[in-house]
Structure 1
Amino acid sequence: MSRSLRQRAIMGGAAWAILIVVIGTAALLYLLERQADRRFDNALLSRHLQVVVAVANSDGHPDQLAALLTDPAYARPYSGRYWQVSGGDQGAVASRSLFDTLLDVPDDPPSTQTIWTGEGPNGAIRGVHQLVRLDDGRERVVTVADSLTALTAERRRIRQSLLATFGLVGVLGIAGAILLTSAALRPLRKLREDVTHRWDSPEKLNPDSYPAEVAPLVTDIDTLLERNREIIDRSRRQAADLAHALKTPSAILRNEIESACGRGFETPAAIDALNRIDAQINRSLARIRAGNHDPVRGQHTAVRTSVDRLLRLFKSVPASAHIDFRVEVADSAMVAMDQHDLEEVLGNLLENATKWAKGRVSITATTSGDSTDIVIEDDGPGIPDDARREALRTGGRLDTSKPGSGLGLAIATDLLDAYGGSVSLSTSERLGGLKVQVSPPSGGRLVLHHE
């Protein structure tokens, strides 16, 4: 599954930071532990040299050795710090810290200082031993040792310190990756917002307000939007030309049929067929026009203005003179549709309502946030639940007792579908007839849904 650039950059930065922390921790831990080992061994070598000097100055006598080696740890039993001199007539001489034991010194001691590791009275120890030849020719094996407890504790402190330090470095690295990613992607977020606003405003994008790496993309997007506008304008003009070319012959044909009716010919089927042809033409042209609507122009239409225009037309028609129209539409109610397309939708719905209403039709509009819903209700017979979806989907005539094409709901649905709006049918609780809820777009694209 694809991830956003932000996620990729953050995860990549986090992975890199973790890798650096792991490698850095391991490398530094190795260096610091080796340094701790060297300090420990250097201290052993220095103490071994002190014991060698003391042996040379005391002729190996135990009391004199103890007097020359004044480190208090040598006098405390099992303190972890020991010395031992073996060889000669007196056998092995050792520090009081060994108490009643002796160091298990490796066989065949070398003539140079050699470090070894073994077991002492209280655990693991590391020591230095050497075969020393005195000035009088006598040989002694001089050994010093120290418990590894201190070295182990120091290593543990090093690990804890490094883990805490590099853990903080890792957290700072991840936070830095997030901040740097946010800063790097800020121009793209700005571009997205500007492009979104271009749907509401005809202003061009300004490449100079973006970094050099993003400016060419901004220019290309602006050019694409301009070309899209030109294509839409051309398509709308072609749709208008086609409408004129089709409606003129249709009007001539209607006049001829009506003239024939005036001469006594019965032509109800021809009139009905012509009505359906006109409705299908209007439906197809409306779909073409709505499908080519230009969101870049930021079209917004006042609902109250369109409703008032339509009501003046309907009230002037004798067929709807008996209808009591109730309007509850605020002047501030706006929708993101071309005025002609909005009036095409409302006109078809009002025509359907007045055709079936007994005497009352209600038009209301409610605005919530940036969305506006328009509701048209009548006191007619309504549409059964099982027929509503079919009426919206095909526009088929559910009842032929009334004149008309039966495509009013379908035309309204097609137009709103092209704009990203929706139409739903239900039963009016106030008037008892059909309730049509229209949800045209207010500033963005909505999803079509039917109840």
Structure 2
Amino acid sequence: MTSLRARAVTGGILWAVAIIVLGLAGVSSYLTSQTQARFIEVLETRHAQAIVAVSNNSNSADDLARAIGDLAYQVPFSGQYWQVQTDSGAIYASPSLEQERLPGPTGLSGERQMREVIGPAGESVFAIGQWVSINDGTMWHVQVASSLRSFEEDQVVLRNTLLTAFAFVSFVGVLGALTQVAVVLQPLNKLRQDVSGRWEQDDGLEVQSYPIEVAPLVNDINTLMERNRDIMRRSRRQAADLAHAIKTPSAIMRNELDNLMMEGTDVQEAVDALDRLDAQLKRSFARMRADGTDATVGVATELDTALGRMQRAFTALARNEGKTFTASYDENLRVRMDQNDFEEVMGNLLDNALKWAKSEVKLEARVATDGQIMISIADDGPGIPKDEVAKATQSGQRLDTSKPGTGLGLAIAHDLIHAYGGKILLSKDDALGGLAVLMRLPFASAKRAD
């Protein structure tokens, strides 16, 4: 499944990275050219100073060395050098060159020459040289050179500074992209939460509370939810009408069978068949009702009310049979299930438990760790073998015919609970030793304020 958040974040990050890389390349190129221009400008200044010194002090080498008096020229192999050569071949050099010499001039051209050459100790230097005419008519070649080592070191420092700065910019950019995505997607997150809440209510979404771009989608969702509610309401009404229409012929048939039985006719098979028909119809109608309820209409059952009624009724029934029934449940629990369907499920399950129990039935309800409602019904009866558990929830599977019934109680409970998004599990109860029916039902949120 494609995620809008992932696509937006990925696109934002890629765009930010592209902009940052291009910016880094552009700024780095610009600063490199500026640094190089500054390097050459400083060297040109040194060359101009050297020419002036030569013009004024060409009579004495000592005077020339003092005239070009930059301290960098006094330190051996400092990276800053000057060298003067006369047209007669005499060479004067800065103390920083020691016994080394810079490459001599090429030709006698009076134009200034800039070149990269090999200097002292094989070091790369950038040199500026030019033949100049002195007052006495002689020609002197004045050359200054600067090591490229310092220039390269400055470049490394510059690159590291730029990388640090752009890494920070990248972090801020990615953080900004994530923030922007969160802000842009916030209306969609709100829409998802509102839709989830509105499924349990009977009103629509407020279109004006969403951005203009999302408003058409909200309108469509409102239309879809209302249409779905209407379809389910009609389905429930049709199921109720059909059940009512079938109830009268069934009652007539049962009355006729009772009359025949009173006259001595053996109609037990017909009575059993009618009982099973009624149970099957009851199961089908229950499923039809539930299919139109789960997460579609705002249904909820207050367990304080429903289980309280069950506790009173089955406590009396158990007492009449010489058995005990106990119930414990947390207060203010609500399940997302129609109350009639919930009481039908609980009635079937408690009736089965009381029917098969030897002496005790327990009912418990609490909130599970995942927020759903856990309801358990346990008895001290014979239970159900593991290999027959699956049959117990199938239509019409009577595992024991020694007691009356249609064999549909567990099947109806299974269908209804699953229709409402719940789960039911049959197992052996560790405490009582009989059957344990565990139900997990969705929790219903608090009632909407009027």
Task: Please say whether Structure 1 and Structure 2 have the same fold, judged by a TM-score greater than 0.5.
Answer: yes
Q: Is the 8 A contact 1:109 1:129 kept in 2?
A: no
Identity of aligned residues (%): 44
* TM-aligned CA deviation for residue 414 of structure 1: 0.4
Q: Secondary structure at the match of 2:393?
A: helix
The answer to whether the aligner puts 1:51 opposite 2:50 as a matched pair is yes
Shift of 1:93: 1.9
Measure the CA separation in 2 of the matches of 1:32 and 1:317.
94
CA contact (8 A) 2:423 2:441 kept: yes
Structure 1 segment 247-396 matched on structure 2, within 5 A: 247-293=247-293, 295-310=295-310, 321-368=321-368, 370-396=371-397
1:168 positional shift:
0.8
1:222-250 CA distances to partner (integer Å, 9 max, x unpaired)?
A: 22211111111111001111111222222
For residues 401-446 of structure 1, the C-alpha deviation after alignment (integer angstroms, 9 at most, x for no partner) is 22221011011000001101111112234433222122222138xx
Per-residue deviation, 1:18: 1.9
Q: What CA deviation, in whole Å up to 9, does each residue of 1:226-279 have, x standing for no partner?
A: 111111111100111111122222222222222211111112221221111111
Partner of 1:447: none
Q: After superposition, what is the alpha-carbon deviation per residue over 1:154-184, rounded to whole angstroms, capped at 9, x for unaligned?
A: 1111111111111111111111111111111
User: 1:434-445 maps to which residues of 2 (within 5 A)?
Assistant: 434-443=435-444
Mind listing any 5+ residue stretches in structure 1 that lack a counterpart?
Answer: 445-451
Mean Cα displacement is larger for which, 271-280 or 295-304?
295-304
Q: Specify the SS of the correspondent of 1:383.
A: coil
Q: Is the 8 A contact 2:187 2:210 kept in 1?
A: yes
Q: Distance in 2 between matches of 1:285 and 1:259?
A: 29
Task: State the alpha-carbon separation in 1 of the partners of residues 125 and 108 from structure 2.
Answer: 17
CA contact (8 A) 2:294 2:421 kept: no
Matched to 1:434, the amino acid is: L
Query: In structure 2, what is the Cα distance between the partners aligned to 1:253 and 1:383?
Result: 34
**Matches of 2:14 and 2:197 in 1, distance apart?**
36
1: distance between equivalents of 2:270 and 2:440?
36
Question: Equivalent residue for 1:152?
Answer: 152
Contact persistence 2:314–2:325 (CA under 8 A): no
Matched residue type, 1:250: S
User: What is the rounded CA distance, in whole Å, between the counterparts of 2:109 and 2:218 in structure 1?
Assistant: 80
Residues 365 and 374 in structure 1, CA contact (< 8 A), matched pair in contact too = yes
Judging changes above 3 Å, is the alpha-carbon distance between structure 1 residues 351 and 83 closer, same or farther for their aligned structure 2 residues? same
Instruction: Give the letter aligned to residue 357 of structure 1.
Output: A
Would you say the 8 A contact 1:229–1:294 is kept in 2? no
User: Which residue in the other structure is 1:15 paired with?
Assistant: 14
Residue pair 1:422, 1:438 contacting (<8 A) in 2 also? yes
Q: Secondary structure at the match of 1:295?
A: coil
Contact persistence 2:379–2:436 (CA under 8 A):
yes
- Return closer, same or farther for 1:399/1:320 CA change in 2, 3 Å cut-off: farther
CA distance in 1, matches of 2:9, 2:394: 47
State the match for 1:401 in structure 2: 402
Q: Which amino acid aligns with 2:361?
A: V
Cα distance 1:430–1:58, how it changes in 2: closer, same or farther (>3 A)? closer
Q: Taking structure 1 as the reference length, what is the TM-score of the superposition?
A: 0.91
Letter in 1 for 2:409: G
> Does the Cα contact within 8 Å between 1:232 and 1:294 map onto a contact in 2?
no
CA distance in 2 between counterparts of 1:100 and 1:329 reads 102
Q: Distance in 1 between matches of 2:266 and 2:108?
A: 134
Task: Check 1:276–1:311 CA distance in 2 against 1; reply closer, same or farther (3 A cut).
Answer: farther
1:206 matched to 2:227? The reply is no
Contact persistence 2:228–2:296 (CA under 8 A): no
Aligned to 1:421: 422
Structure 2 Cα separation of the partners of residues 16 and 207 of structure 1: 33
**CA RMSD after TM alignment:** 2.4
Query: 5+ residue gaps in structure 2?
Result: 446-450
TM-score, length-scaled by structure 2: 0.91
Residues 1:85 and 1:281: Cα distance change in structure 2 (over 3 Å): same
Supply the distance in 1 between the matched residues of 2:319 and 2:286 (Cα, whole angstroms): 25
